[in-house]
Amino acid sequence: MPARVFWSRVPAAYVTRSARDIGTQFEEAGIQFLGARIVERGAFNFGETLGKLADDQVPSLENARANAATFVAEVIALLKELRQ
């Protein structure tokens, strides 16, 4: 299976200079990235699955769930593509 790099724990609002430089180096080396990034959110550090957390326990829970779903959907699509 071809490897893919994905960004995790990235800031929601911006891309750091060092992350941009690292990304450029990977791309120049021909290493592909997943489009989805796991954004740094409190829900991911809560010690529970996103499905078990309640909206009143952690801020931006719906955003974290949507972020995780986007990541999973992209991985599944890639795996399906590789099966063909």
* Residue 81 identity (one-letter amino acid): E
Residue 22 pLDDT greater than 90, yes or no: yes
Residue 3, domain member (yes or no)? no
Average pLDDT of span 54-58: 89
Q: Residue 15's domain spans which residues?
A: 8-83
Residue 62 pLDDT greater than 80, yes or no: yes
* Count of C-beta atoms within a 10 Å radius of residue 28: 8
Residue 59, domain member (yes or no)? yes
The reported pTM is 0.81
Phi/psi of residue 8, nearest 5 degrees: -130, 155
Residue 71 pLDDT greater than 70, yes or no: yes
Domain count for the chain: 1
- Separation between Cα atoms, residue 83 and residue 80, nearest integer Å: 5
